[in-house]
Structure 1
Amino acid sequence: MRRRVRAGELVTPYRALYARAGYWGGLNGTERVLHVIRALAVRYPQWTFGGSSAAAVWELEHPWSLHDDGVVYIVGDGGSAMHTHARLRRSFVPTEDMRKVTVRNGVRVASVARTLVDCGLRHRFVDVLPMFDSALRRRLVTVDEVVAICDRTQADCGHVLRLLHYASPLSENGGESLCRATIIEEGFKAPQLQHEFVDPGDARIRHRADFVWHTSDGRIVVLEFDGQGKYVDPTMTQGKSVRSVVSEEREREAVLRRAGVTQIIRTDFKEVAARLPLTAKLVDAGVPLAGGMLLWNEVPSGRWA
């Protein structure tokens, strides 16, 4: 097997685990870690997976990059000793948490609440807010359950509580969650999610906007996050052509403006990842900053954003 790895026929993503190089190259980060987890679950059926490994098993929204290091996370209550190595991390959790272990798709996995707390303590805000949003959206966990885990955790859970403060089941996908987390980290006021606008000329026509801000000077700013699949994924376009989808978007924007929207700005994953292009658009649109600060391009009126 080592000879075939050296020849490039196989890859070894984890100790004593092998996969065909061509097949492995076609998988994304989450798919790869799930292959490793399922194989390890067969070899070590007593293991309980936690952290970002459990997030993958629970299918919580998160960036694939969390698995780039190939590390697998397991949890235990300290009752049994085991050696760890470069690609294995073990966390010790209260015995009560181990009693809530669930078997999902043949894999022993920590509860969703325990998974969210562990990820919130270990990873960045922008990487974990999508997990919290998707867990709440799918009703896999409640806020009280996450707080209860924090109460049993010796570590400072301030980061987790901040995630709970901003988490929302209204976020429709991981891309929107990532965008919102970036907006918050850049110091802007958290937007209102999925606000519905009604066409004043026909109450039957209603459209929801991804992100909405109502400014102190009476303006309404809308930000739309455009995923690539919006124009090319048949499941999202319902078989419509790109031209038809673009035409519908223009009509939708016209409805929003008739409903009182002052400015509509758009962004995508590339701009969110780069941050500066998104930030520049928000500043130019006069989106209010958090903490009652006045934006430089707002007309002084004695009112705070």
Structure 2
Amino acid sequence: MPHLLSDRAVTSSPVSLITTSEARMLGVPLVPSTMRRIRRGIYVRRAEFDHLPPWTKYAVRVHAFARLHPDAILCLESAAVPHGLPGFGETADIHVFDPERLRSRRFGDVFVHASHEPREVLRIDGVLVTGIRETVIDLSRVLPPARALAVADSAISPAQGGLLSLDELRTNAETQTNRRGRNRSRWVWDRAEGQSESPGESISRAVIAWCGFEAPELQHVFRYEGCEDRVDFYFRGNRAIGESDGWGKYALEDPAEGARILREEKLREERLRRNQHPFARWDLAGAQKVNPLVRALESAGVQRVRAAQPEMLATLRDHTREKPRAQRMNAAPSRSQTTRSA
């Protein structure tokens, strides 16, 4: 069974983890001004950690837990880290699967899950995780719908490194005896699309549908002026083009390469506009906020063909599985948690 998806897979901590014993041996002072405690006995350098994006901070926390508990089997969002499945925000809990446990239980910020369903277990660079198929199915049951769709798309999209088939996911999900979240899973399987090339495209596709806009064609190719241009979304009703931008596509780690890509992107957009295609752009944040995406599509003349679904749009504001903002300011578990934390 395949397990790694694209370059999103985080198979080791993004920043160096330092144990208390290592710090003593190396003479590293464990003072709050320079060091941040991630778990009991595990520290990172504050300057390296504090400016990481939320999903990367979560990856650090996951690997810190795995360092302390090498025999624990990660599942759900925690397994998604080494598998390379999309992450959103900083998940509140470390999720662990215990095949011997009869009942799920929380220990501080560690949630230990029990299940009667069989689980494939893999070891990725020394870290035990539930298999990619099981992880995707589990997440499809618990994540807000648009995010679950992004996870499923990534697992079946060749462009994102996905190696699973949609039929495989659907069939395995239906054979599970656990009925919790089954309707949510079915919604995901009915809409998952292997042509989606990024989580931003997946989220955007859900928002476009929930706002009542015409369903776009994905990855449509135009041939104008001797060039071949592939676009994220094509709205055939008025020939409009929609692009879900992600910073990664602009190679910001290489300024020269980023500038070259931006120039080519500008020429590409001008070429498509010259050939009578209205153009709309937004990013992942714009899709999640809804209004920026709506304004972009309306400015491009894309028509609504059905009523909006406000209850589905409201799920975009569901952050119940993430750390509250106040807690994100301090990544370490509180002293009261560490007394029972795994």
What band does the TM-score fall into relative to the shorter chain? 0.7 to 0.9
**Aligned residue in 1 for 2:115:** 93
Distance 1:195 1:275, change over 3 A: same
**Aligned residue in 2 for 1:298:** none
Q: 2:216 aligns with which of 191, 195, 198?
A: 191
Q: Does residue 1:207 correspond to 2:226, yes or no?
A: no
Task: Give the structure with higher Rg (CA).
Answer: 1
Q: 2:162 aligns with which of 128, 139, 144?
A: 139
Instruction: Name the SS for the 1:38 alignment partner.
Output: helix
Mapping 1:1-305, distance limit 5 Å: 7-63=32-88, 65-67=89-91, 69=92, 71-79=93-101, 84-97=106-119, 100-137=120-157, 138-147=161-170, 148-152=172-176, 153-199=178-224, 202=226, 205-215=227-237, 219-231=238-250, 233=252, 239=257, 241=259, 245-246=262-263, 248-257=264-273, 261-289=276-304, 291=306
Deviations 1:168-188 (A, max 9, x none): 222222233333233233333
CA RMSD of aligned residues (A): 3.0
Distance 1:82 1:183, change over 3 A: closer
Q: Which amino acid aligns with 1:151?
A: T
Q: Which amino acid aligns with 2:147?
A: D
Instruction: Name the SS for the 2:148 alignment partner.
Output: helix
For the Cα contact (< 8 Å) 1:62–1:130, is it kept in 2? Answer: no
Unaligned 5+ residue runs, structure 2? 1-19, 21-28, 309-342
For the Cα contact (< 8 Å) 1:214–1:221, is it kept in 2? Answer: yes
Q: Distance in 2 between matches of 1:145 and 1:130?
A: 17
For the Cα contact (< 8 Å) 1:112–1:140, is it kept in 2? Answer: no
Deviations 1:54-96 (A, max 9, x none): 1111111232x142x2x10012334478863231112223342
Q: Which amino acid aligns with 2:239?
A: I
Q: Distance in 2 between matches of 1:156 and 1:82?
A: 17
Shift of 1:276: 1.0
Shift of 1:156: 3.6
Instruction: Name the SS for the 1:119 alignment partner.
Output: helix
Distance 1:79 1:183, change over 3 A: same
Normalising to structure 1: TM-score of the pair?
A: 0.77
Unaligned 5+ residue runs, structure 1? 294-305
Distance 1:139 1:43, change over 3 A: same
